[in-house]
Amino acid sequence: MIRLQQRPLFGFFLNPFGTTARAIELKGDHLLVTGRSMPAALSLADIGEAPALRKGVLGTTLSLQVSANRDVILRGTDHADACAFADTVQTAWVSFNTGAFDREAQRFDRLHTAVSGLARPGRYPAACRLAPVLNDARSLDATLLSKLKAEAIGTDRAERVTLVRKFVADPRAARATAISVFVAAELDRWEQFFDTVESKPLTAEQRLSVVVDEDATLVLAGAGSGKTSVITAKAAYLVKAGIRKPDEILLLAFAKNAAAEMSERVKARSGEPIVARTFHALAYDIIGAVEGSKPALADHATDDAAFSALIKQILKDLVHTMSAVSRAIIDWFSHFLVEPKTEWDFKTKHEFYTHMEQQDLRTLQGEKVKSYEELQIANWLYENGVAYEYEPVYEPKLPETGRRDYQPDFRLTESGVYIEHFGVRRQKMADGTEKLTTAPFVNRDDYLASMAWKREVHATHESTMIETYSYERQEGRLLTGLAEKIAPHAKLSPRPVDTIYDRVIEMKQVDTFSQLLGTFLRKFKSGGYSLEHCESASDKMKLGKRGRAFLAVFGPVFDEYQKRLAGRIDFEDMILRAAHYVETGRYLSPFRHILVDEFQDISQSRAKLVKALKGQHPDVRIFAVGDDWQSIFRFAGSDIHLMRKFGAEFGGTFDGEAGIHSTVDLGRTFRSVDQIAFAARTFVLRNPAQIQKQIVPAGIATEPAIKIVTTAKHEGVKALSDVLAALSSKLDPAGETSSVLLLARYRYLEPDLRDLRRRFARLTLSFKTIHASKGLEADHVVLLNADSGRVGFPSQIVDDPLLALVSPDEEAFQNAEERRVMYVAMTRARRTLTILASNARPSAFVSELLKDPAYGVSQPSGSDQDVHECGECGGRLLRVQGQDGRTWYRCAHSEQCGNFLPACSGCGVGLPRRVEGTLQSKCSCGKVHPTCPDCANGWLVERTGRHSTFLGCVRFPTCLGKAQLARKPSGRGVTGKRRR
């Protein structure tokens, strides 16, 4: 113990109020300070530098730095005493600092080695490797390093401490620099390996993906970019570089054949037997290891056709055995099979008609109706055994009105009573009265006049007309109201439920519904959802009665499905049970690197298993290779959001930042020429949720690579033959052959391959559904039947909004998955892609490809004719050949619109169109006609009536537009003075 204090007299003059220290005493590792406003004790750890002395007239002043802006000062001391005290304190201070450093020397040396090693890292500085270093460094910095003084510990130690503290201050920058240094050196070190590991040297992007070894690494592998080469090289590299032993590497594939191919390639490249497994094989092995034996697998687990057949059988059995459930099932097919949209959900006739055609509104009786509300009425009549005709010709012959034959919506066969359904809703006015309104694209005055005319017809001819209205459905009483109105005219005789269901089967409506149920069931189990969750989600998403109707069927189907497993397990059970064993530690994983192929197809349950394996050890890495542009297996449970949120789901944590991962874009395709590669990229990226990727094509096209051929009804076979003949004719006569892959959205569209192969022997022809074609390629691809419709392409079944109930995030973009299916189809082609589509109902995808010049698509055959818009609905007018041999123009929405125009009387081919700002319609041949005053499309031609000649619309009797015929004295021609 040593003490230094002010000399009494000097101290009074220098410190009369006691604001500085009066005495300081060194006691062990502390300085005891005496003074009115001074702290009682200071640790030597608080001293920033050695004591400083300053000799003055009134004695020596000693200063101790406690912090950057605060010193302890003792004035008026004896100089000799001050020097002795300062020396003693400095010795104690140095000893304290060096002692503290020495006590943590081993810990510090480990940290210093790890941090200094970042200058030339021997392993990839992954977050999981550096996070423990950072945590330890921060802890040591807080307790020791930040308190050590460079002067006390010496220059060498101070420099080492500074290096560690610099890492603590900015660890992200240090890690980023280390990664950059490592990658550059590693790419150079393994150059020969990358040149020879595959049959062709790896690209720069492929090499990068191999050496990057983050906690989670996502390799974006576009179509034909060589993803299998990347996985093979990665596994071989991990072994050859001594990073992992073969049994520490887990290779996961989705299909047996892919797993077998991967195992074979990895063994050939690495010389080590690293066996690739499917998720199901892995899960089965985990269950077997924990339980001692493997449970029996359900027969349908490995057979999609058997799974679909089981769902259909369950539906049928429920109809026959459970009355409450059978009613729910029939209600679904009668009223909720399609999305219940009405005219009020659309702004234009064209949009409404297009939607109706996509829905294929077919009644239980078999006819196609024009609106969802008509469908409800027709199915109610059928269910209740009320015989009816749809749109019959009104029986009393009406006098000549110029109109088409009157066809009421329904006629009850036995009573002859008619039903007219009017598309009007009620609107409350400010004065309390009600006003009838029509859909946005319907002329209200004309529609109300039509209603009045129909009432007048029935009154005149004393026929009975029952009226129903759109506002009744809006108010939830359309069918109850119909029952009341029809009661006096027809006796209800409800058909047995099983009879109705047999009719549903006959119409093949069960097939599409069972597909929806199967997809929903797999996602339901995979994601661990409950019916309560789905019901709540349905309410939030405002799916209304349709959502509730679906769940009323799904609940019993799911319960029955679970019962029929009878102790066996399906794939969802298998993977979830395995994940549970891993999560709870009953299974100890040996794996430190998990390599997953086709990652875009991963499901919630598979992701759960992967995360459980990763969570068992702090240094496990996930290496995922996939292409979100090719995620097309939602029906099998895949969830694209797991790839889009890859970092959040699988990434590591470093410096307080979660979701640490790395993404490598392979950025090229070895398959398609530029026109196809770029068009496919543009097409799929219309959905902004898809991950951006760069594409480098395989070559430059020297002629149009994408062609669209539109065909008339029943001419698809001839069109395909013409396309194949054209491809065959371009082959070198010396025996050259070419591969042609015929693709379709559905298997039933497969053409007669035997006949085609016989006729086009030099073409290697094959057929696949688009889903089955993944991984395949051909010189030429022909896509069949790219038409619109409920079972068209895009399919209106696959993207049913109900599937959002079992998806973490709904895909808001319309036809999101079907757009990816189209991308897969496009990218199977190396040299050319030909799309066959209906000229009347082309797919929305075909229309998009044709409209946007960015796609560079060659116009369809016969497209030299102009594309004309239907003036009645905004659709397209198609050129058709009439039975009389004349050319006509018919609206593509033939069942809804019915607009029909003759070709120009001058050339017999063209279509006169209105000249803006004039009263004339002009054909491309130059012939001019006066326009019709009543309709948007027609023009006037000379007609002869009972009493005179006049100008009438070419659309007569649909349009009654007229004009008077006047002749000029000069005889130069005919002019029309219009009248209505």
Q: Is 18 annotated as a binding residue?
A: no
| Sheet with 778-783, edge to edge strand ranges | 706-711, 829-838, 778-783, 738-744, 763-769
For residues 671 and 367, give the distance between their C-alpha atoms in angstroms, rounded to a whole number.
46
How crowded is residue 681: how many other Cβ atoms within 10 Å of its Cβ? 23
Say if residue 607 carries a ligand binding annotation: no
Phi-psi region of 59 (alpha: psi -120 to 50; beta: other; left: phi over 0): left
Please give the backbone phi and psi of residue 309, each rounded to the nearest 5 degrees, phi first. Answer: -65, -35
Residue 222 labeled ligand binder: yes
Torsion of CA 499, 501, 507, 512, to 10 degrees: 180
Report residue 359 as tokens: 């829905």
CA-closest candidate to residue 19, choices 11, 7, 27: 11
Residue 363 marked as a ligand binder: no
Note if the bond before 794 is cis, omega within 30 degrees: yes
Q: Which 3 state secondary structure label does DSSP give 854?
A: helix
126: burial class by Cβ within 10 Å (0-12, 13-18, 19+)? buried
Nearest to 373 by CA among 468, 494, 500, 481: 468
347-351 long-range contacts, CB within 8 A, separation 24+: 347/440, 347/441, 348/440, 348/441, 348/873, 348/874, 349/441, 349/872, 349/873, 349/874, 349/875, 349/893, 349/896, 349/897, 350/870, 350/873, 350/874, 350/875, 350/893
Q: Would you say 378 is a known binding-site residue?
A: no
Q: What is the SS3 assignment for 441?
A: coil
The answer to whether 898 is a known ligand-binding residue is no
User: What are the residues facing 54 on neighbouring strands?
Assistant: 61
Confirm whether residue 228 is marked as ligand binding. Answer: yes
Contact 932, 949 (CB under 8 A): no
The answer to whether 223 is annotated as binding is: yes
Q: Cα(940)–Cα(929) distance, rounded to whole angstroms?
A: 6
Contact 668/205 with Cβ under 8 angstroms? yes
Is residue 685 within 8 A of residue 834, CB to CB? The reply is no
CA 739 to chain centre: 32
Q: Is the dihedral of CA 597, 609, 518, 792 positive or negative?
A: negative
Nearest C-alpha neighbor of 573 from the set 625, 615, 534, 608: 608
- Which pair of tokens denotes residue 278? 């499917």
Closest CA to 938 of 919, 951, 923, 921: 921
- Of 170, 101, 190, 103, nearest to 130 (Cα)? 170
Annotated binding site for ATP: 221-228
Annotated binding site: 221-228
